Structure 1
Amino acid sequence: MELKIAKTDLQNKKNEAKISIDEVLRQYKEENRHIFYFDGQNTHKDMQKAQNTIQKAGYRVQLNEVRYGLDEHNYIYEIHII
């Protein structure tokens, strides 16, 4: 499963980088990275699948929606692996 990574620049419309769950786990283990941000265009169902996949790998996971504006569509997903 591949998920879209959150954009780092709101002006850049081309940034559609993707990352797999295996790559997320690799970065967690090797680079000691605990927090990952994903684009709001990912479906909530896909984010829950990602959360369950990481939990099945033996990790605790917190999934959040992070709002960055007043519009209801201005949000990204945050996955925090503990």
Structure 2
Amino acid sequence: MDLTQLMQVKRWLLLHAHYHPVELGVWNLVLVCWLLGWVAVPGALLAQQWAALPLCLLGFTSPNWYVGGRKRLHRAGRLRCDWLTAL
């Protein structure tokens, strides 16, 4: 996902926060993981903490994993995801 798509989902969730408060909280958690993944890379490289690099990779790919999982569940009819129209 690019930054524009992240922003579109966030905007949709903020506009519908009254109806989807838990989903907004989960998306905020995904964005925190994404940001920590990007911010931690230079620190891990400088401190030579090579074991932290896979965690950073998981962090900055978390929005892709989350959206992909939500799309799959929505298509299967197991979970309704209204914000997919924002993408």
Structure 1 length as normaliser, TM-score? 0.27
Higher relative contact order (CA 8 A, sep 6+): 2
Structure holding more helix per residue: 2
Higher alpha-carbon Rg: 2
